[in-house]
Amino acid sequence: MPAELSPIDKAKFAAARRAVDFVEDGMKVGLGTGSTAAWMVRCLGERVREEGLRIVGVPTSSRTADLARQIGISVVGLDEAKWLDLTIDGADEFDAQLQLIKGGGGALLQEKIVATASDRMIVITDASKEVVNLGAFPLPVEVVPFGWQTTRALIEEMLIATDVLGRQTTLRLNGTQPYITDEGNYIVDLHLNRIGNARALAVALNQIPGVVENGLFIDICDMVIIGGAEGQVELRDINAGTIAHERIDFADDENIFADLD
């Protein structure tokens, strides 16, 4: 592994490397979006190239689709795949119940659709993403552009009666213009600081006209793999109620990093 990788990237790599061990020949696999998920796609591509692993990937964004094709993973859409064996993705936050905040990369809608169309979801992350209460990371809410300011005002009104610590909302920008999702929508980020009842908030948000989806992933994740900079990994299985500790050997194999050049 190149020495110039930061400790956080080594932690992400360790989690990603362990997660792809759960992928078996013939599987249909949801491919997440974001920096940690990118490591997973590279690790999976290495298995495809070196082991002849036969899989079909369903990407959760155009960025992930481009990367998967670049490294030799067969890519199809969800309508073609229909149902998936496994989705592997990152998260912006997770708590002890493996409830998540996702969408920092702007792909929350496709990520949630793909994850819920899977038998199992594994989240790969580092220890910094674990929180006692969700909400320190801004909660993304995807909204349609038409009347988005009205939708934002309705969200702010709803938050008054919600168990949160903050109620500031901001339109996500790309430079000076609104950030546009793959579906052509906007994202409003909610700066809540702490979410008292994530399940109730997720339901309330999706009842507001103009809201397409929110970044709270409730009862979707089955396992979290937490990577460390020295190759240590912790596997938490919410269904089995187990926690396992392992170590990944950072081999001197540079193949996975060739595409970084």
Tell me what pLDDT residue 250 has. Answer: 79
pLDDT (tens, 9 = 90+) of the chain, 261 residues, equals 555 889 999 999 999 999 999 999 999 999 999 999 999 999 999 999 999 999 999 999 999 999 999 999 999 999 999 999 999 999 999 999 999 999 999 999 999 999 999 999 999 999 999 999 999 999 999 999 999 999 999 999 999 999 999 999 999 999 999 999 999 999 999 999 999 999 999 999 999 999 999 999 999 999 999 999 999 999 999 999 999 999 998 765 455 555 544
215: how many CB neighbours lie within 10 A of its CB?
Answer: 29
Amino acid letter for position 170 = T
Every domain range in the chain assigned CATH 3.40.50.1360: 7-130+219-250
Residue 147 has phi, psi (to 5 degrees) of 65, 30
Residue 29 has phi, psi (to 5 degrees) of -125, 130
95 is in an annotated binding site: no
106 is in an annotated binding site: no
Name the percent of the chain in helix, strand, coil, to the closest 5.
35, 25, 40
36 is in an annotated binding site: yes
The whole-angstrom separation of Cα 14 and Cα 160 is 41
The whole-angstrom separation of Cα 50 and Cα 39 is 16
Residue with tokens 């592997």: 88
Q: Give which of 203, 199, 174 is closest to 186, Cα–Cα.
A: 174
For the entire predicted model, the pTM comes to: 0.95
Tell me what pLDDT residue 258 has. Answer: 55
The whole-angstrom separation of Cα 236 and Cα 242 is 6
CATH fold for domain 139-212: Alpha-Beta Plaits (3.30.70)
The H-or-E segment that residue 59 falls in is strand 56-59
With left for phi above 0 and alpha for psi between -120 and 50, is residue 129 left, alpha or beta? alpha
Residues annotated as catalytic are 111
181 is in an annotated binding site: no
Whether the Cβ atoms of residue 122 and residue 225 lie closer than 8 Å to each other: yes
Every domain range in the chain assigned CATH 3.30.70.260: 139-212
CATH class of segment(s) 7-130+219-250:
alpha beta
DSSP letters, 63-124, are HHHHHHHHTT--B--HHHH-SBSEEEE--SEE-TT--EE--TTS-HHHHHHHHHTBS-EEEE
> What secondary structure letter does DSSP report for 193?
S
Three-class SS of residue 164? strand
57 is in an annotated binding site: no
